[in-house]
Amino acid sequence: MKVLTIGGGAREHAAVEALARSGAEIYCVLKNVNPGIESRATAVLHTAEDNIDSICDFAIKNYIEYAFVGPEAPLAAGVVDALDELGIKCASPTSAAARIETSKTFMRELVTKYGIEGNLGYASFDDAASAIEYVKTVPYKVAVKPVGLTGGKGVKVQGDQLTNLEETIAYINEIFDSNMGGGKVIIEEKAEGEEFTQMVFTNGTDIFPMPLVQDHKRAYEGDLGPNTGGMGSYSDADGLLPFIPDEDRQKAIVICKKIVDALKAEKCPYRGPMYGQFMLTKDGPKIIEINARFGDPEAMNVLTVLSTPFTDIVRWMTGTLRLKSVDFLPKATVCKYIVPRGYGVKSEPGHTISLDREAVENDGAALYYGSVDVVNGKLVTGTSRSVGVVGVGDTIAEAERNCEKGLSHIKCDAIAVRHDIGTEALIQKRIDHMKAIRG
């Protein structure tokens, strides 16, 4: 089975490792040098990940049968549409289906149109003046978001990053002045509770849920500092999280299924992994966003413990195989990202990383390369998250210890890590917060 993978980050490295475990013959497209991905590949194309012509030529040359796209930018550019036209079966959504992520307005309007549970109050604006007038009168705290893609870093929330009305207005102006995310803004009701991620695999009709994961967006320990693409995440052995009962998880799964059904009804069926980010509130799960891909870092958690061959899931998502279930090992995971110093504000790339991957794995963890490159034969940090380490264990506590052991085998003089992710103290903080929210 020849599979083309697109993307050079840790999310894609995790997918490539899962494909390799399943016996796939892998061909990869990536803009950086990722030694983990490339060590598994039969052939490599270094180019921009939305360079459709070069990607299609590479696919034709290598007689590719299936494709999997990791990042959102090539999905938005229509890479899947172009590969579809060549007869290559894609386990990723078309650009029309990917609007569930590439346009936050499209997502909210779809959920409204089909009466899907979990929506929040919202309004979209094409000009700053109207958006500013709205936030002056809206009766609740809001989240301010560019409508389009911002790499997971464009959201600011009142009472959090935005401390008053003046800062909210200034951020709205910044979005329009800089054309951030396409220069349009959506103002959403702020949801109070605990965030969680429910991802699913889908073939456009049916879904298979993945274990719940909780990501940590803030750059610094104690949930402080600027928002990032995600500093790390954890999952539990039973597929739930310590503060989420199965009843609420099932509600999130139903919401994902109804979104898949709605996209099918809209004549843009969705195939591939889908990422549902939710807030568990006193009234149940509320939709924060839906993404047209695996989450990052959450992909590392779930793919590390995936026991069903990923090749079978790819074939099922593309309609070429029947599948009765998707199974995961009953293990907990804790992922912590090594990031370049300054990440979240101004990264300091280009610093040499030394690591012992075998030693990491011997200590009960997996290692995935992210935003790295190879310069003069040395592994160096990029501008984003560099290396993900995923500890695995029977409990979250054991997985966290194994993650820390793995991290000890990686050295660099200009990196940062959130060591508090997956610790008992931080998880108890989440449990206590949810108890207070729900009374």
Q: What is the tens place of the pLDDT at every residue in 226-258?
A: 889 999 999 999 999 999 999 999 999 999 999
In which band, very low, low, confident or very high, does the pLDDT at 155 lie, cut at 50, 70 and 90?
confident
Which residue is listed with tokens 């061959």?
309
Average pLDDT over residues 361-371: 97
Average pLDDT over residues 382-398: 97
Reading the block at residue 218, the tokens are 């803030």
Q: How far apart are CA 131 and CA 138, in angstroms?
A: 10
Reading the block at residue 286, the tokens are 């509320």
**Which pLDDT does position 160 carry in this prediction?**
84
With the CA atoms of 233, 234, 239 and 240 taken in that order, what torsion angle do they form, in degrees rounded to the nearest 10? -90
In which band, very low, low, confident or very high, does the pLDDT at 153 lie, cut at 50, 70 and 90?
confident
Q: What percentage of residues in the chain have a pLDDT greater than 70? A: 100
**How many other C-beta atoms lie within 10 A of the C-beta of residue 358?**
10
Q: At what angle do helices 310-317 and 10-21 cross, to 10 degrees?
A: 100
Average pLDDT, the chain: 96
Residue-wise pLDDT for 194-232, tens only, equals: 999 999 999 999 999 999 999 999 999 999 998 899 999
Residue 306's nearest CA partner among 277, 331, 275, 273 is 331
Cα–chain-centroid distance for residue 101?
11
Contact between residue 368 and residue 390 where contact means Cβ atoms under 8 Å apart: yes
In which band, very low, low, confident or very high, does the pLDDT at 152 lie, cut at 50, 70 and 90?
low
**Which pLDDT does position 435 carry in this prediction?**
96
Q: Is the model's pLDDT at 302 over the cut of 70?
A: yes
Task: Let me know if 169 is exposed, middle or buried by CB neighbors in 10 A (0-12, 13-18, 19+).
Answer: middle
Average pLDDT over residues 361-373: 97
**Which pLDDT does position 427 carry in this prediction?**
97
Q: Is the model's pLDDT at 332 over the cut of 70?
A: yes
**Which pLDDT does position 122 carry in this prediction?**
93
